């Protein structure tokens, strides 16, 4: 029967407990439903630092909870799940990115409205880590250049995207997560002569968060130059002063070169070859800018190269990452499958969410390229997340043992 719980399927011991504890005036079936409802509510009520956790319970992986803001296609979701986390809230306004996210992670409960209108206290569960790769276009070199050419505002003055950082601060004020994990373009530090970063840092530190930052290049994790700033903040009330927090960003293995050979298909579809017209245009465009002393142009690669940064505009002409093909008259762009692996969405992540043959492409090529160009590289995020987990573990063991016990992972 619909919405009915089959009590008869329970163990005899459980049945006896239900009979003994069911209050008068309600059925046993309704009583069990109420128990399950409360258990579900309690699951989202507490965070890691609210509970009396013993050192023994945190060996291996911490049972932490995180939220995924400006989620895109889930780079943070992949990474923090591997690190032992459970996602309790997701926000992504782009309908095509949300389609991919839902398909990949089996999560239908994605908030797709305007995050500026959300009531954080009512709609966002308590959590241990707030994750947000907040929109980078208002701060990126390419985005600023384009907006300047069009006479449009950029940075915090961008009405559409520039003020979304302050919505994150509203959520922080409402929920007070122990850890903040943010990502943006490298130019965030230098935008507006450093004033933008000064505002961000002040907003974080004025709320008593200890701020750690580092610019990391994805080339040591995937075959692509992609410099991004990562910002990790710890609640001072829980973790103490900076000198007391044992946190360091991961160090890349610079001795290992990862090349395009690791992600290129041996027999790609010929539809990804550039047309004669487009290839002629790109060559002429590059020549024009060379004569002016500019560096604009296409990036032509072979399998032994490390690619330029993939951007959300890759779908237009693929010019930043073109691949030479011995048997074709013109270069080609990456296929969506190759672009996915260029960003580090490997089969290991896909298998974790039940996709035995890798993450499926559920949107058009155009939308897929946009999504990959806007994404974080989950491999970097995973390595940072594991460092955060170590720091949280130490904070919990210190809290529960007066600083006498150190958890080892």
Q: Single out the residue of 111, 409, 66, 49 nearest to residue 237, CA to CA.
A: 49
Checking 192-198 for CB contacts under 8 A at 24+ apart, the result is 192/155, 196/139, 196/155, 196/156
Beta bridge partners of 40: none
Q: Single out the residue of 362, 365, 366, 369 nearest to residue 339, CA to CA.
A: 369
CA dihedral (193, 198, 200, 203) in degrees, to 10, reads -160
What's the Rg (C-alpha) of the chain? 24
Instruction: Judge whether 274 and 319 are in contact, CB under 8 Å.
Output: no
Q: Which of 78, 131, 136, 233 is catalytic?
A: 136
Give the strand order in the sheet containing 322-323: 300-301, 322-323, 332-333
Beta pairing, strands 129-132 & 300-301: unpaired
Instruction: Judge whether 92 and 70 are in contact, CB under 8 Å.
Output: yes
CA distance 132 to 400: 30
Is 136 one of the annotated active-site residues of the chain?
Answer: yes
Instruction: Return left, alpha or beta for 23; rule: phi > 0 is left, psi -120 to 50 is alpha, else beta.
Output: beta
Q: What is the secondary structure of 26-62 as a DSSP string?
A: S-HHHHHHHHHHHHHHHHHH--TTTS---GGGGSSS-
CA distance 42 to 30: 18
SS3 label, residue 89: strand
SS3 label, residue 138: coil
Catalytic positions, please? 136
């Amino acid at each position: 029967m619909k919405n009915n719980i089959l009590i008869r399927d329970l163990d005899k011991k459980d049945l006896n407990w239900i009979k003994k504890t069911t209050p008068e005036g309600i059925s046993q079936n309704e009583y069990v439903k109420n128990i399950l409802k409360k258990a579900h509510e309690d699951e989202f009520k507490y965070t890691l630092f609210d509970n009396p956790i013993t050192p023994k319970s945190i060996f291996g992986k911490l049972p932490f909870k995180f939220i995924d803001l400006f989620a895109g296609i889930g780079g943070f979701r992949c990474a923090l799940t591997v690190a032992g986390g459970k996602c309790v809230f997701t926000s992504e306004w782009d309908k095509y990115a949300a389609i991919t996210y839902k398909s990949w992670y089996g999560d239908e409960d994605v908030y797709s409205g305007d995050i500026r209108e959300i009531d954080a206290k009512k709609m966002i569960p308590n959590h241990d880590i707030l994750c947000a790769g907040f929109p980078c276009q208002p701060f990126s070199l390419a985005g600023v250049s384009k907006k300047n050419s069009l006479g449009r505002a950029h940075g915090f003055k961008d009405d559409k995207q520039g003020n979304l950082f302050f919505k994150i601060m509203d959520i922080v004020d409402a929920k007070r997560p122990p850890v903040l994990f943010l990502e943006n373009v490298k130019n965030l530090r230098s935008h507006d002569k450093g004033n933008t970063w000064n505002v961000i840092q002040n907003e974080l530190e004025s709320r008593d968060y200890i701020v750690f930052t580092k610019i990391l290049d994805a080339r040591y994790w995937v075959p692509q130059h992609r410099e991004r700033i990562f910002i990790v903040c710890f609640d001072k009330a829980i973790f103490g002063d900076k000198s007391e927090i044992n946190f360091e960003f991961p160090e890349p293995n610079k001795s290992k070169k990862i090349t395009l050979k690791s992600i290129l298909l041996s027999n790609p579809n010929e539809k990804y070859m550039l047309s004669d017209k487009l290839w002629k245009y790109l060559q002429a465009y590059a020549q024009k800018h060379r004569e002016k002393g500019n560096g604009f142009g296409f990036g032509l690669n072979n399998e032994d190269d490390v690619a330029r940064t993939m951007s959300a505009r890759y779908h237009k002409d693929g010019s930043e990452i073109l691949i030479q093909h011995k048997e074709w008259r013109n270069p080609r762009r990456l296929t969506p499958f190759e672009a996915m692996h260029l960003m580090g969405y490997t089969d290991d992540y896909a298998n974790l969410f039940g996709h035995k043959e890798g993450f499926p492409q559920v949107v058009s090529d155009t939308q897929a390229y946009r999504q990959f160009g806007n994404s974080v590289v989950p491999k970097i995020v995973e390595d940072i997340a594991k460092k955060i987990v170590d720091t949280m573990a130490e904070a919990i063991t210190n809290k529960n043992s007066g600083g006498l016990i150190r958890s080892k992972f």
